[in-house]
A and B are shown apart, each in its own frame.
Chain A
């Protein structure tokens, strides 16, 4: 299934954005977020960005005070996912605002990364803004 979820978490551990590509109940999600966030937040810079959790992996990266966590299957290529996170961040960087969610929508569908060109991702959003 590729990507199972994408979370954006701040330094205090509060989830700022959560996108799940598999079905989990609210309690499960909360528990999951709690565990994973705790694991990732306590890691240092020198440690690698991959954390194994149960039967899948979490790839994370920290940008300023925000942690980007992506949960992927075991077969997934971790470096590619890291790339994806970076892409996401850069895309958002180009266009800040509340559209992080929309961008993610453009980039990932059904758990698969479908769009990797920043301009392509931003086009619809920019269109939206122009029209609005």
Chain B
């Protein structure tokens, strides 16, 4: 009979279609419209049912009801019109009646003869019962309750059905209460189960009134073997226990027993939950719970258990942190779990715990995730930042935030999609003047500044950014952070200038160019529109803020300030070439810097003739030999030692030879003739090489510049850290000079920088004239040299001279050619090549 007939056929009308038929026809109805469409089939079926349900034959009715139920459940057809009919069913327990009884249409739940069991309320039903119950609640409840008196097993169903009535009509509780309580003691587990279920629900609403029943529940807790009932009882107890401490004491033992002995994980979990939520004053119980939870966490093959383990731990979070501490390892490992739910839980756990005991290790697994899953990375970032925000940025241990700052930067590098969000977040961080006073957060701020500068094109309001970066309170930050700020200002400036140029070029006649986005927060487009005024404003602001830094004793700041100011003055000086200058600079910044792996250095080939040694201990030998000849060396050594003591953090650890391999660009070569060089002991300690690729992967440490201790020798130096040669060997390798700014630095700037310290600049600065270094944006390359205490100012020089002279050329060398000037003060200045990992730069690699 099933099948797609185009109209009612004789067959159809003669034989009632069963539920099976209906289902089959519905499922095979595929057309959108026409005879075959599902909606048509459905409406025909409903019509059939309407007819059939009025039939006098019970079977027909029953089948019709079945179909109706099905349709209602799956297709939501309104069946309230059918409400009356099923109640006309008579009593006998025939199969068909039973049939009906089991699937009566939802709208019924009234007629409770002891045999006919109404169906539980279901969706389309909710209003009808209320409608029915409304005017006549008592009698209805009465009818509901009367079956309770009936000693059949059906009372369980009645019990359950009771609960929703009890909520709106609490009076009925009293009426039914006695019966319910009796049911608790019933021999039949099912009845007990139903009753406990009802109480479970009731106690959720009003636990106090069920306290007197505690002994009953206790009995069940101890005696019952049915896990389902036990779980429900445990739930009840978790609500009752907080109300009555003596009760808690009494139930601890049975609960722990269950915890220990049960083999049902569900029961164990429920016990744990009860213990953690309501019995957490009992240490033993908590410990036992934690132990069991550990087992959950350790289950290799069942992610469900691991997930529940983590959830369990999070229940303990606020108070019993020691438990979380113990399982820290596992939690951290869970961050790497293939299941995202588990990861999220682990992350939340860690996020909660992070305020108390930050742990660097935590961040490492999250780095793994950063690489593969941008969405999760966002979550991690969010978590980290929210942890940051807690307690008004009260941070416990400094180094932890160091890592977080790594994160911000790393995420920016790796996760393109996160960049806009990062920029937005960074802006918020930067704008807030209150944060500047907080000593712990400076690294985050410098990461934020870096991010803003690097991805300035994604920021909405560059002018605001510049203002934020230059606000007076910035002077409260430590030098490293301020250096980053200044550099970011530079980037933002370039960006603004460039966009201005572009928009100018785009349509000078275009009035819309004048649109300013001073305070616009809307679309990204508006940010491109800079008026003359806003540009002037930026430039003025920069000049005003950075001028004082020009004489600053902090070399980094000074250098960068001078860079920018020099650039600005270049702009002004070279009117006609302005545009070209800006364009060139912008191009320099255009390249996206990517992360460099820690092994990158290792992959760079060692040129022939150079033998790298890991350990510079042979330097000592040489130095010793030379010592008597070099009083200056001693002096420099002591200066160095003193400097090192004072600025310990910026030095590489002595024993670490790893640092050399880490992301340092190869210094170029040619150990040529630097002339006789003495080795400054201190300078050798830092094995830093300048990046070859100025524009390439960033994060490479800038090539250290070794300064020779020559007297009066203006030889440049060399570059790489080579083995030390005997002093008469004109090896320049000993002395290195460092490059501070790889950023493009125009000649003027160089010119300005140089004379300051040594006064011998002229010659060599000229050499660089005419080259614009398009160094990569190496803002982080702070490898500047720390000056010796008494201002042994070996000037940091920027040596880069892209050999190829190309802008975004990865291969450009910044080699210090032999003839590079190296200036240095004689006798002094051991050049400590301090390589400062700009916050977050290298450690992430």
Contacts and interface: CB of A to CB of B under 8 A. Distances in A.
A34 interface: no
Interface in A12-31: 15-26, 29
Contacts of A64: none
Contacts of B125: 23
B720 interface: no
B123 A51 contact: no
Contacts of A105: 102-103, 119-120
Contact of A20 (B96, B123, B341): B123
A127 B95 contact: yes
A55 interface: no
Given A47-B341, A75-B235, A15 B228 contact: no
B438 interface: no
Contacts of B739: none
A112 B159 CA distance: 11
Interface string B157-176: 10011011000000000000
B559 to A, nearest CB: 53
Contact of B266 (A79, A98, A129): A79
Contact of B307 (A50, A114, A129, A131): A50
A18 B74 contact: yes
A18 B123 CA distance: 11
Contact of A48 (B95, B197, B265, B341): B341
B339 A48 contact: yes
Judged by DSSP, the binding face of B is helix
B304 A82 contact: yes
B599 interface: no
B121 interface: yes
A21 B341 CA distance: 27
B838 to A, nearest CB: 39
B190 A115 contact: yes
Contacts of A44: 338
A17 B156 contact: no
B269 interface: yes
A48 B343 CA distance: 11
Interface string B97-122: 01100110000000000000001111
B19 interface: yes
A110 B342 contact: no
Given A46-B339, A47-B340, A77-B270, A114 B157 contact: yes
Interface residues of A, number: 51
B69 A101 contact: yes
Contacts of B126: 23
Contacts of B341: 47-48, 50-52
Given A49-B304, A77-B273, A15 B74 contact: yes
A21 B122 contact: yes
A77 B266 contact: yes
Judged by DSSP, the binding face of A is mixed
Contacts of A47: 303, 338-342
Nearest to A14: B27
A101 B98 contact: no
Nearest to A15: B74
Interface in A69-125: 75, 77-80, 82-83, 98, 101-102, 105-106, 109-116, 120, 124
A124 B98 contact: yes
A16 to B, nearest CB: 8
A100 to B, nearest CB: 11
A113 B95 CA distance: 24
Interface string B181-205: 0000000001001100100110000
Interface in B27-75: 69-70, 73-74
Contacts of B96: 132
Contacts of A113: 197, 228
B99 A114 contact: no
A79 B308 contact: yes
Which of B70, B190, B228, B342 has its CB near the most chain A CB atoms (within 10 A)? B228
A79 B304 contact: yes
B156 A114 contact: yes
B372 interface: no
Nearest to B235: A75
Given A1-B201, A128-B99, A46 B161 contact: no
Contact of A128 (B95, B119, B193, B339): B95
Given A106-B102, A111-B120, 4 more contacts: A17-B74, A105-B120, A112-B197, A130-B95
16 contacts: A19-B73, A20-B123, A22-B123, A47-B341, A48-B341, A51-B341, A78-B266, A98-B19, A102-B102, A105-B102, A105-B120, A106-B102, A110-B120, A110-B121, A114-B156, A116-B226
6 closest Cβ pairs, A-B complex: A131-B95, A79-B266, A26-B76, A23-B126, A48-B303, A112-B197
